[in-house]
Every structure is written in C-alpha cells, then in structure tokens.
C-alpha cells in the first residue's frame, strides 16, 4: 500500500497497491529565493486553518509544509533514484539537501521524516518522539536554513482524508471490501462497516516499532479504551471496532459500524479524539442507502436521475445547478454605529460535464449536507461569497450563453459569466446591501436603491409567496433555460421562535443547542447556519483570519433541531474578540431542497420545469436565512 501524497500534477497510479490516499492542494507560486520560507503548517488530511482547534500537529502524524524555496526539484519516494520508499530519510540530497527540524521549547531539535518535496511543498512524518508543546519548524535547503515558523505539537489531532484532497466533501471512506464509497456505491446503516483513513491518532508507541521511518505493521487496537476515538456519523455515535495504524507510518485506519437511523448521499462524518479535552477533526461525508444502491436525499438529490448516464457507456452526465441564497443579518453593538443591517444576495450557476470521478468528490448540487446533518467548513476572512468546490476545478464547462436573468420581487437582475466570484465555467452575482457604508471585499454594493434583491428590507424572510424565474437564451451547448422557483406562503411564514432566548448571551459551545421554529413548508426544510471567526480586532478582509461555518439542514415539519456539541466545538470562541464587526453569527431560515428537472423534488417546494436541451438534469436550490451576531463561549 502506498500513500499518494503528491500534488495534482504528480499523482501516480500504483497498480500493486490496495488503495491510494490522495492528498492534493494547489501549489503556491514557485520561488527562486535561496532561503526557504514557511507560510503554513497543516495536518496532511484535514488542512485546517491555524489556529483552529484541529490544526495542531499530532505526534507520529503526516503533516504538510507550504512555503517557497523548500526544494530544488519535485522529488518523492515514487520518483527518487536515491532511496527506496522505505525507510524515509530525514534529508534529501537529490533535492538540494532539504531537511525539516521541529524544536519544542528548549528541547533538542527533532528531524522529520520527509516523504515528498517541491519548491513550495513538503510532506513529512512527525516522529512520535517529538515533545508536546509549542515551538517552531524550520526548513533547510542547499545549506541555507530558513526562518522558524510556529508549530504546536499535541498528543492527538485527527484529520480525515477527503476525496477532493482538500479536507472537505466526501471522505476517503470505504466499505468492508475496500471499495471507495460514492453516490453509486453505498453502505447500509446498522449493518455495514465503514473504513475511514486519516492521520493524527497519535504516537506510534502502541505499535511496538521504534524505527518509525519504516513501514509499520498494523498497530495495537486503541479500542476499547480511553484512547479509542469517537466517530460521529450523521449525529449518531458509531461503534468502533478498530482504530490504529493502517500498516504504514503516519497513516491511521478506523473501522466502524454505520449507525442505524442515517441515510443520504452526504451523511456527515467527524472523528473526536482527546478524551476529556475533545479535539474535533475536519468533517467529511459518506453515502448511505438502505438498499446499498444509488443514493438519494430527502431534499431532492436523487442520483438515479443520472445513474444511467454516469454508469453507462458515457461515464458522465451533463448537469446544471443554480443556487439562490439570501442572508439577512442584523449586527448589533457596533461601536459608534449601533445596529447595522447586512444583507447578502447571491445567485450562482454552474453547467458542466460531470464524470463519475467528479461526482465522487463533489459536495452536492444542494450545496448542503443530507437532511438531519450538520457540515463544518473552514473559510478565510468572511464566509461570503462561498469558495468554489475543489471538485469543480477540473470541470469541463458547458456554454449556456453569456448571462442568465433572475426576476425577483424588487427587480430583474442579469447574472453574467464568472462575475462576482470564481466559479468554474459558471455564472454568479453577489450583491451586498449594508448600511453606514460597511461593505465586504467579496461583493459589489447593490445599486438596487439600497434594497435587497430577493427580499423586502425587513427581518421577515418574505412578505408573501413569490415565484422567482431564472431564464437564459442558451449557448452553443445548453439550450434556452426557463426555470421557476417558488417560495411558498408556508415557507415564507417560517418564524424562529426561540431566537431571543438563544441569542441573549454567549452560547456555550460544549452543550447541544436546540433551535425551534413555527410555520414553514411541511415538505420543505430549514437551514441553520452558525458562523465563527478567529478575528480578534479590526475588520475582516477577503484573505483575513480563518473561521468556521457550520450548516445544519432539518425537515421543516419537525419544528425543532438540536445542533450537537461536537459541531459547536468546531467553532472558534469569540468571547475575547474586540473586532469592529462581530465575528460570530447565527442564522435560521427556509430552504427548498433541490428541485430536479428529472425527478421533481420535494412536493410543493418544486414547481415543474423542463430539462434544457444539452443537459441531462438541472437542479435549483434556494436558501433564505436571517439572524443576528452572537458570542460563542
């Protein structure tokens, strides 16, 4: 078995391997600087942004260094002529003598085992003997040591490998036969096992092998016992049969039984380690179906719509997706200002040819987790506009014309190609309406007379039912588009009933949080979004401090949803922040689910629409959420 820890350009196929875990992240611009410089240190699976909770590096784990001038050439075990894959070296003579040293406090520097290098990336294994604590990591290249960069070493901090190789979306999770899960290959809840792969369970001492640079035999099972990790699947705790080394240094394996009661294409999975002081991993997802067949979600995503295309001779499907999102946020206690209305309206669309490999790593056309689930996603600066899904970077786009047109209650807006933020082969419009001159670097200021595009300028989601219309003349591939989106009277009537009590003071992140509402479309859904940033002072910028966005989707008919504590614990605390713009928010509102031109979608939330020529399916989703700033304790 080989861990494939190369960037996209150097991905290799190993025919004799049991599986390959692929770690991919876009490389920084190459630099000819003689002195190597480190710009970031990450868990090689999760890529959490420091200083978020799961960004510390665990003893014995794989970690990734990004920077400039870290090597003279791209080199790794699969390409190197100077050594065989195992044991791993601590210095790479063939790449200019690249080495990595980790120094914790006043302890002696510990050399890391190097797996891969390029001019701007190093993948390495942190020896289990590295002391715990804060310190520095430094890179030496061509005899030139670079400046030290901060690092925190902990006993355990787990990251789950994701299929998009960026730590989000579908995880590298397999069935008991070591077949990777996908929308077209699923497991059955309550019966089947899932096997997930990651790094960061901790020291290799339990495997009774001192030479960590060599491939390790399967380690001692950490379960049952205090060191056994907790695996959360769709809000339920899974029964863990094995947790330990997979048989290779730094690479961990967890075997668990998929808990009863979960179903969907994007059932969320997170791993909790650390015992009494929990450390939450990144969130990935897995596909679960009661018949082990092609998966479907209550919110309208049904991969049977396109299964015959993807699994047939074509091996791909031509799909369009349109998202309409409105965030109404009332920010209070702004210094010298008081209360500020911050409304963000977004329209985005993507038309592309989706092969099975893209659908396997895609986060979904509804851009949300399966119903009853919460997903956690990192962001930089402000969480709007949302970043493009990494799975779409290689998407072959389809020409659907120069622009779309969206009719809303206040105006009709043109949505041009790739305007506003980066969508691959897509269309986007991002309008931000903020009083007192506050604006976000991500969106232009609305010119619609200061009024939100979708909604009336009031805390209500909508004053009445409204039928939106998305139209387009079409292009060389995709024909004319005419797609209605209806916000029903029932959906518009949704009211967040415990808003005042929930948001009255700082919210305890260690306790489950219950949200209640009345009204709503009985066939529709509710979006609950929690946002928290590490911003300590000033205002956020587009590339400012990191943060976390947690989004939960519930059936509107339930009237209540409880956000699990492990989801809330992924949010950074904001109680010490003196930032001008509050870094914590909580929003609630109606969501349509995904309306499909093939299978329809949830009853009463999805009007009938025709699949445009040139496409196999078209999906449309809306989310209309409102909320206030909060403190996360």
Q: What is the DSSP letter of 632?
A: B
Domains of the chain (ranges, CATH numbers): 2-155 (2.60.40.10), 160-288 (no CATH), 303-629 (no CATH)
Q: What is the 3-state secondary structure (H, E, C) of 278-311?
A: CEECCCEEEEECCCCCCCECCCCCEHHHCHHHHH
Report pLDDT for 430.
Answer: 65
DSSP readout, 560-622?
EEEE-HHHHTTSPP-TT---SS-SEEEEEEEE---EETTTB-STTT----PPPTT-SEEEEEE
Q: What is the 3-state secondary structure (H, E, C) of 484-513?
A: EEEECHHHHCCEECCHHHHCCCCECCCCCE
Tell me the range of 340-354, 366-380, 448-462 where mean pLDDT is highest.
Answer: 366-380
Residue closest to 423 by CA, chosen among 315, 345, 321: 321
pLDDT tens for each residue of 190-224: 999 999 999 999 987 665 444 566 555 556 789 99
Which of the pair, 70 or 210, is modelled with greater confidence? Answer: 70
Are the beta carbons of 168 and 162 closer than 8 angstroms?
Answer: yes
Residue 336's contacts (CB-CB under 8 Å, 6 or more residues apart) are none
Report pLDDT for 388.
Answer: 74
- State yes or no: pLDDT of 595 exceeds 80: yes
Q: What is the pTM of this model?
A: 0.89
- E strand intervals along 203-297: 230-233, 236-237, 239-248, 251-257, 264-273, 279-280, 284-288
pLDDT band at residue 256 using 50, 70 and 90 as cut-offs: very high
Are the beta carbons of 436 and 391 closer than 8 angstroms?
Answer: no
pLDDT tens for each residue of 458-514: 333 343 467 788 899 999 999 999 988 888 888 888 999 999 999 999 999 999 999
pLDDT tens for each residue of 299-329: 888 999 999 999 988 899 999 999 888 888 8
Report, as an integer, the average pLDDT of 550-573: 96
């Amino acid at each position: 078995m080989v861990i494939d820890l190369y960037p996209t350009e150097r991905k290799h196929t190993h025919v004799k391997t049991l599986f390959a875990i692929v770690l991919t992240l876009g490389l920084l611009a190459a630099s000819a600087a003689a002195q190597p410089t480190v710009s970031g240190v990450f868990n090689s699976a999760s890529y959490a942004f420091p200083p978020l909770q799961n960004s510390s590096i665990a003893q014995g784990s794989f970690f990734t260094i990004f920077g400039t001038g870290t090597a003279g050439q791209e080199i790794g075990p699969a390409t190197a002529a100077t050594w065989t894959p195992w044991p791993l070296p601590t210095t790479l003579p063939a790449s200019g003598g690249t080495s990595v040293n980790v120094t914790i406090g006043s302890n002696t520097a510990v050399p890391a085992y190097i797996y891969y290098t390029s001019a701007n990336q190093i993948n390495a294994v942190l020896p289990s003997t590295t002391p715990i604590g804060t310190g520095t990591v430094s890179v030496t290249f061509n005899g030139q040591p670079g400046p030290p960069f901060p690092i925190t070493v902990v006993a355990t901090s787990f990251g789950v490998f994701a299929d998009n190789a960026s730590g989000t979306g579908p995880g590298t999770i397999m069935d008991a036969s070591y077949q990777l899960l996908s929308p077209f290959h699923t497991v059955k809840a309550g019966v089947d096992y899932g096997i997930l792969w990651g790094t960061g369970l901790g020291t290799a001492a339990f495997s009774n092998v001192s030479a960590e640079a060599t491939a390790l035999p399967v380690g001692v099972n950490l379960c049952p016992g205090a060191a056994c990790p907790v695996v959360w699947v769709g809000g339920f705790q899974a029964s863990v049969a094995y947790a330990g080394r997979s048989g290779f240094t730094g690479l961990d394996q967890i075997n668990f039984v998929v808990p009863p009661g979960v179903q969907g294409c994007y059932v969320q999975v997170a791993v909790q380690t650390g015992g009494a002081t929990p450390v939450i991993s990144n969130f990935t997802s897995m596909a679960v179906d009661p018949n082990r067949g092609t998966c479907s979600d209550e919110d309208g995503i049904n991969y049977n719509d396109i299964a015959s295309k993807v699994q047939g001779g074509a091996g791909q499907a031509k799909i369009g997706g349109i998202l309409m999102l409105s965030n109404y946020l009332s920010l209070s206690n702004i210094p010298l200002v008081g209360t500020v209305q911050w409304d963000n309206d977004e329209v985005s669309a993507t038309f592309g040819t989706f092969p099975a490999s893209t659908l396997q790593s895609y986060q979904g056309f509804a851009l949300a987790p399966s119903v009853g689930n919460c997903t956690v996603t990192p962001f930089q600066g402000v969480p709007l506009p949302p970043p493009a899904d990494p799975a779409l970077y290689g998407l072959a786009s389809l020409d659907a014309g120069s622009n779309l047109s969206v009719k809303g209650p206040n105006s009709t807006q043109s949505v041009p190609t790739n305007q506003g933020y980066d969508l691959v082969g897509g269309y986007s419009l991002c309008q931000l309406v903020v009083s007192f001159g506050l604006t976000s670097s991500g969106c232009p200021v609305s010119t619609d007379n200061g009024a939100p595009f979708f909604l009336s300028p009031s805390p209500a989601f909508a004053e009445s039912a409204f039928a939106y219309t998305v139209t387009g003349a079409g292009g060389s591939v995709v024909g004319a588009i005419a797609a209605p989106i209806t916000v029903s009277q029932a959906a518009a009537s949704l009211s967040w009933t415990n808003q005042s009590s929930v948001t009255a003071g700082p919210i305890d992140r260690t306790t489950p949080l219950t949200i209640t509402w009345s009204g709503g479309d009985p066939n529709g859904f509710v979006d609950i979004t929690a946002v928290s940033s590490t911003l300590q002072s000033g205002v956020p910028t587009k590339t400012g401090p990191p943060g976390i966005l947690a989004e939960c989707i519930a059936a509107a008919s339930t009237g209540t949803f409880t956000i699990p504590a492990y989801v809330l614990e992924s949010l950074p605390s904001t109680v010490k922040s003196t930032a001008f713009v509050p870094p914590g928010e909580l929003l609630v509102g109606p969501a349509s689910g995904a309306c499909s031109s093939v299978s329809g979608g949830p009853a009463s939330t999805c009007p009938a629409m025709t699949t445009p020529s040139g496409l196999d399916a078209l999906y449309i989703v809306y989310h209309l959420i409102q909320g206030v700033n909060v403190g996360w304790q």
